[in-house]
Amino acid sequence: MRSGLRSAARWRNHVGFTLVEMLVVISLLSVVMLALGAAFRTFAQTEIRLDHRMEVTDEFRVTTGFIRNILGRISVRKPEPALASPERKIVIDADARSLAWIGVMPARYGAGGLHYFRLAVENIQNENSLVIRYQPCLDSAVFPNWAETEFKVLASNITSFEIRYQNNRQSPSIWSANWGPGDRPPDRVQILVQSAGIDWPDIVIAPRTLPGAGDRSSVFVVGGAR
C-alpha cells in the first residue's frame, strides 16, 4: 500500500513540463516562426518583382507598338516658302533629346489622318515621363506650339533617354545624335530608354515616307494611301 502511494506521488511530481523544457519549446517555436516569416517575405517580394516586371514588359510592348505605328510612316511635307531654307525640304526636327515629324495617327488610337507628332521626355507631375505630343495637321507646314497640344504619357520613371539616327548614304554608316539631311527622313531611328533602372531593349524603326501624302493636310490617310 505504501509502495503504491509512493509511486503515485512520484507520478504526480513528473506531470507537466519543467521550465527548461518550456524555454526550449518557445525557442524552437521562435526559430520556426522566424523562418516562416522570412519565407513569406521572400514570396511576397518575389511576387512584387514579378508584377513589376510584367508591368514594365506590358508598358514596353504597348509603347513600342504605338511608336512604331506613328513613326513608321512620315509625311513628305514642304515648309512654308517664307520659312523654308534651301537645305530643309520636309518638316522634321530631330536631335538626341526629341523628334518631331508629321505622320499618320492610327484610327484605333483616336481620330485618324495626318498629325504633328513630337516624342520627348518631359516632367509631368514631378516625374520624368516619355511623352508623345500630337495635333491634327493644319494647312501650315510649321510645327505647333507643343505646350498647347494634346499629349499622352507612354512611360514613366524615365532615368535615361536618347535618340540616334542612321544615314545609310554615309560611309561608313554610323549612328548620329542629330539628323543633318533635310530632304528626307532618317534611314533608321534608334530610341534608347531606361526606366527606373531597367534598360529597355533598343527600339529601332526604319521610317518610310507616305506616297502621295502631298501638301494637303485635309487628306485622310490610311495605310499610307489617300
Q: Is the pLDDT of residue 107 over 80?
A: no
Q: Mean pLDDT throughout 55-61?
A: 69
Same domain, 41 and 95: no
Judgement on whether residues 198 and 96 belong to the same structural domain of the protein: yes
Q: Collect all residues with Cβ–Cβ distance below 8 Å to 138 and sequence separation of at least 6.
A: 144, 217
Residue 69 pLDDT level (bands cut at 50, 70, 90): confident
pLDDT (tens digit, 9 = 90+) per residue, 123-156? 998 999 999 999 998 766 678 899 999 999 988 8
User: Does 225 map to a domain?
Assistant: no
Mean pLDDT (whole number) for 76-103: 73
pLDDT of residue 4: 55
Same domain, 41 and 118: no
Residue 61 shares a structural domain with residue 41: no
Mean pLDDT, residues 192-204: 83
Please report which confidence band the pLDDT of residue 225 belongs to, taking 50, 70 and 90 as the band edges: very low
What's the CA gap between 197 and 194, in Å, rounded?
A: 6
Same domain, 65 and 142: yes
| Per-residue model confidence (pLDDT) at position 74 | 86
205 versus 169: the higher-pLDDT residue is 205
Domain total for the chain?
Answer: 2
CA of 122: how far to CAs of 8, 59, 186, 218, in Å?
86, 17, 23, 30
Whether 22 is in a domain gets the answer yes
Domain-located, residue 139 = yes
> How confident is the model at residue 95, as a pLDDT?
92
- Assess whether 16 and 92 both reside in one domain: no
Q: In terms of domains, do 98 and 205 share one? A: yes
Q: Which domain holds residue 198?
A: 57-209
Stronger pLDDT, 61 or 194, i.e. the higher one: 194
Does residue 210 or residue 11 have the better pLDDT? 210
Q: Specify whether 96 is located in the same domain as 144.
A: yes
Position 217 in a domain: no
Q: Collect all residues with Cβ–Cβ distance below 8 Å to 175 and sequence separation of at least 6.
A: 164, 165, 166, 190
